[in-house]
A and B are shown apart, each in its own frame.
Chain A
Amino acid sequence: SSELTQDPAVSVALGQTATITCQGDSLRKYYASWYQQKPGQAPLLVIYDKLNRPSGIPDRFSGSSSGDTASLTITGAQAEDEAAYYCNSRDSSGNHVVFGGGTRLTVL
Chain B
Amino acid sequence: EDQVTQSPEALRLQEGESSSLNCSYTVSGLRGLFWYRQDPGKGPEFLFTLYSAGEEKEKERLKATLTKKESFLHITAPKPEDSATYLCAARFGNEKLTFGTGTRLTIIP
Are both chains from one complex?
A: no
Binding site for B on A (CB under 8 A): none
Binding site for A on B (CB under 8 A): none
